[in-house]
Amino acid sequence: YSHIGIHESMIKDRVRTDAYREAIMLHQKFIEGKVVMDVGCGTGILSVFCARAGAKRVYAVDASEIATQASEIVKANNLADKIVVIHGRVEDVDVEEKVDVIISEWMGYMLLYESMLPSVLFARDKWLKPGGLILPSHATLFMAPITNSDRYEGSVDFWCDVYGINMSALVPLAKKFASEEPSIEIVGGENVISWPFVVKHIDCYTFTVEEFKSITTTYKVSSMMLAPIHGFGLWFEVEFNGPAESCSNLSSDSSPLDIIQKKRRRASDSTVVLSTAPEDEPTHWHQTILYFPDPIGVTQDQIIEGSVTITPSEENPRCLNIHLECS
Amino acid sequence: YSHIGIHESMIKDRVRTDAYREAIMLHQKFIEGKVVMDVGCGTGILSVFCARAGAKRVYAVDASEIATQASEIVKANNLADKIVVIHGRVEDVDVEEKVDVIISEWMGYMLLYESMLPSVLFARDKWLKPGGLILPSHATLFMAPITNSDRYEGSVDFWCDVYGINMSALVPLAKKFASEEPSIEIVGGENVISWPFVVKHIDCYTFTVEEFKSITTTYKVSSMMLAPIHGFGLWFEVEFNGPAESCSNLSSDSSPLDIIQKKRRRASDSTVVLSTAPEDEPTHWHQTILYFPDPIGVTQDQIIEGSVTITPSEENPRCLNIHLECS
């Protein structure tokens, strides 16, 4: 994360940065005069937003070398009296007071890949005052079967006739390549062939790191069309609700109607949502697609059911193992 | 090179694949009934083109695992009596006869990065009959100062005002990142601010691997406009001429007029050229840009001169060291 290009692409993701800025302004009354901790502050942009929103003090914590530049940015913007940049892991830092607000942009691809969620939970348990605010407050990981013939035909079927040459000997390699690891790419709402289901809904006020050790859900969705399923797509949204606001939480038991109603309700409420769904404006997270080696044809209204289990890799806890069953 | 995605992007580069196919058809009379060696055959597509053009036998050599699939492709297209796929380095293979034609797609980024040229020269010296054909026959590496304000402003100046925050503490990092290694990207003819100069012209019939050990040239070009120079761009073209055809070779002494006249002459001749120049259709090689940490302003007709030296890295001969002087 000391690589400048990563920060450039994150900050230039306006869907992301605008959502955080709006969330801070929405909660400005709460933040004013309060103490904030920014977990994984990077360039310090969220800390500056909080200081400008009236925070009394912001602890901006980052384990990477970018903390050096964050500190210079704080000085250049005359906020050195408000923002304390700390170069270190949040698990190791020592600050002089408990905090009223924890803000963090911790989400990775498909929410949980290389995510900093465990650090946020650690900071919450150690440093957040009772009744404090966590931004974002809730996160939901969604999944749905997807169809993507353009991509399949372009990288698999392609080999059957290349300049009039039968290169189908390469088809098994192409299928293996396409399906052996998740693909980070942008798909559109038209690629999604059922209502999405909720893999996991995380309430950042109560979620524990133990719950993260194995996330599993069963699903049962109905195809909206006659189409080949090429795999499953994963995406997420996060919300920025206050500690007192009751959030109509989604779970893996939520029906499509629950999800639609929640979307509608949000549109009328004063809440901020950062969505990385295929039907919404693209973000630097794109979507995560688990391609099958071979497509599976479904008819309209056909039931697709199974289970999905996500567990941190034992060798590298920031990586994930995904076990998907589907019939 | 056993990675399927690489072969997909090479074959889908129609500028590249079409040029090879056209070159083979242009020399069909020479190839008919002859013996061909395809150095670094990959999926075997060029070997199949040669066999279809009437070659008596094609030795398709590749050191990577893709040779297994190449062999299957040959069988699937009923060419097993003509194409012999050999899994091994061309430096190690043993074939029963000398060859009339060497074909190879050996060019890397900026022609020479990770290029297979030394293997082609080895094959030529060991296996090519006198008077044999080498495709491509000639390669020219060009260079010119370029201007690219969009890119510079987007990744360097950008930090001066981010959501109203002065983040110029990141400018030194951004400059370092932009200039510490060559960037592979597509620029257009409008980004090139002088006539290009020739860094190296390679006649594949006579070039020796010793000449590759240090390529150096001085240059003196004149800016066509008032503009900031953001760096230098490198690109190449290759030609597919027969052994008897005298090629009006370019060199580092070639004037802009030489280069233009050569382009004109080619358009009327029956020759095939594969160009990766900014003014031509983009290819998977893109262009290679050496960005300066800071732009240098020039006025119209201002002279830009200096020297450039390209040497294979001692640690890894497929990598290159580039030493550029400019005033």
Asked if B35 and B98 count as a contact pair (C-beta separation under 8 A), the reply is yes
Q: Does A72 touch chain B (CB under 8 A)?
A: yes
Closest CA to B131 of B19, B34, B22: B34
pLDDT at A139: 97
Rounded distance, CA A241 to CA A198, Å? 19
Check A69 against B169: CB less than 8 A apart.
Answer: yes
Question: Residue B10: helix, strand or coil by DSSP?
Answer: helix
Least confident of A56-70, A98-112, B28-42, B244-258: B244-258
Above 70 in pLDDT, residue A266?
Answer: no
Q: Which of residues 138-157 of B touch A (CB under 8 A)?
A: 155
Q: Give counts: helices (H), strands (E), chain A.
A: 9, 14
B169 CB within 8 Å of a chain A CB: yes
Are B77 and A155 inside 8 Å of each other by CB?
Answer: no
**Inter-chain contact A168–B77, Cβ cutoff 8 Å?**
no
Taking an 8 Å cut-off on Cβ atoms, the answer to whether A48 and B173 are in contact is: no
d(CA A203, CA A240): 11
Give chain B's mean pLDDT: 93
Q: How far is A45 from chain B (nearest CA, A)?
A: 8
CA distances from A235 to A69, A316, B49 (A): 31, 22, 44
Listing DSSP states for A2-43 in one string gives: --HHHHHHHHH-HHHHHHHHHHHHHTHHHHTT-EEEEET-TT
* C-alpha triplet A17, A18, A24: angle, nearest 5°: 95
Residue A11 near chain B (CB below 8 Å) = yes
Nearest Cβ partner for A4 among B4, B11, B173: B173
A8/B168 touch (CB, cutoff 8 Å), yes or no? no
B123-156 pLDDT, tens digit each: 999 999 999 999 999 999 999 999 999 999 999 9
Give the DSSP H or E segment for A149.
Answer: helix A149-155
Interface of A with B in 217-256 (CB under 8 A): none
- Looking at per-residue pLDDT, the higher value among B38 and A269 belongs to B38
Inform me whether the pLDDT recorded for B99 exceeds 90: yes
Distance CA B17, CA A128 (A): 61
pLDDT tier, B254 (very low <50, low <70, confident <90, very high otherwise) = confident
Question: 10 Å Cβ neighbour count for B205?
Answer: 16
Tell me what pLDDT residue B2 has.
Answer: 59
Q: Please compute Rg for chain A using Cα positions.
A: 21
Q: So what's the pLDDT on residue B316?
A: 86
**Inter-chain CB proximity B43 and A155 less than 8 Å:** no
pLDDT band at A270 (very low <50, low <70, confident <90, very high): confident
DSSP A155-215: HTGGGG-BTTB--GGGHHHHHHHHHSS-EEE---GGGB-S--EEEEEEETTT--TTGGG-E
Query: Percentage of residues in chain B with pLDDT exceeding 70?
Result: 94
Once rounded to an integer, what is the mean pLDDT over residues B215-222? 97
Q: Which residues contact B75 (CB under 8 A, 6 or more apart)?
A: none
Q: What is the mean pLDDT of residues B293-308?
A: 97
B292 — pLDDT class (breaks 50, 70, 90)? very high
How close B54 comes to chain A (CA, Å)?
16
Contacts of B167 in chain A (CB under 8 A): 43, 45, 73, 76
CB–CB of A169 and B17 under 8 A? no
Q: How far is CA B36 from CA A141, A163, A262, B32, B59, in A?
A: 56, 20, 67, 10, 6
- Predicted confidence at residue B115, as pLDDT, reads 92
Which pLDDT value is given to residue B269?
67
Q: Does B5 touch chain A (CB under 8 A)?
A: yes
pLDDT of residue A2: 60
Q: Provide the greatest CA pair distance for chain B.
A: 72
**Average pLDDT over chain A, rounded to whole?**
93
Chain B interface test: which of A17, A66, A162, A180 (most B C-beta within 10 Å): A162
pLDDT, position A171: 95
Chain-centroid distance of CA A38 in Å reads: 17
Over residues B77-83, mean pLDDT: 98
Using the beta-carbon criterion (under 8 Å), do A21 and B163 form an inter-chain contact?
A: yes
Position A258 scores a pLDDT of 75
Best A12, A46, A73, A82 member to test B by mutation, with max B CBs in 10 Å, is A73
Average pLDDT for A175-187: 93
Considering only CB atoms, A73 lies closest to which of B11, B48, B169, namely B169
**pLDDT digits 0-9 by tens, A279-310:** 999 999 999 999 999 999 999 999 999 999 99
Cα B213 to the chain's mean position, in Å? 17
State the pLDDT at residue B3: 81
Where does the pLDDT of residue B70 fall: very low under 50, low under 70, confident under 90, or very high at 90 and above?
very high
Interchain CB distance below 8 Å, A43 and B170:
yes
Q: What CA–CA distances, in Å, run from A264 to A258, A268, A271, A281, B323?
A: 10, 7, 12, 18, 61
pLDDT at residue B255 in the model: 76
Name the pLDDT band for A246 (thresholds 50, 70, 90). low
Q: Is A91 left (phi over 0), alpha (psi -120 to 50) or beta?
A: alpha
3-state secondary structure (DSSP) of residue B264: helix
Please indicate whether, in this complex, the C-beta atoms of A165 and B48 are within 8 angstroms of each other: yes
C-alpha A193/C-alpha B117 separation (Å) is 49
Q: Residue A86: pLDDT above 60? A: yes
Whether B170 sits inside 8 A of A48 (CB atoms) is no
Q: Is pLDDT above 60 for B34?
A: yes
Whether B160 and chain A come into contact, CB under 8 Å, resolves to no
- At B271 the pLDDT is 87
Residue A169 sits at φ, ψ, to 5 deg, of: -60, -20
Interface test with A, best of B64, B163, B168 (most A CBs within 10 A): B163
Which residue in B has a C-alpha nearest to residue A177's C-alpha?
A: B4
Q: Which ipTM did the prediction report?
A: 0.89
| Contact indicator for B39, B102 with CB cutoff of 8 Å | yes
B306 confidence band (pLDDT: 50, 70, 90)? very high
CB < 8 Å to B5, chain A: 155, 177
Question: Annotated catalytic, B181?
Answer: no
A267 pLDDT band (50/70/90 cuts)?
Answer: low
Q: Please provide the DSSP assignment of A86-133 as one string.
A: EES-TTT---SS-EEEEEE---BTTBTTT--HHHHHHHHHHHEEEEEE
Q: Nearest residue on chain B to A18, judged by CA atoms?
A: B163
Contact B48, A142 (CB under 8 A): no
- Average pLDDT, integer, range B200-222: 95
Q: Are A325 and A220 in contact (CB under 8 A)?
A: no
Determine the pLDDT at residue B268: 59
Which chain B residue has the Cα nearest residue A68? B169
Asked if B8 is an active-site residue, the reply is no
Closest A-chain CA to B69? A169
Radius of gyration of chain B (CA): 21
Average pLDDT over every residue of B37-50: 98
- pLDDT at residue A11, rounded to an integer: 94
Which active-site residues of A does the annotation give? 105, 114
Helix (H, G, I), strand (E, B) or coil at A195: coil
Nearest chain B Cα to A76, which residue? B166
Cβ–Cβ below 8 Å for B170 and A11? no
The pLDDT value given to residue A243:
80
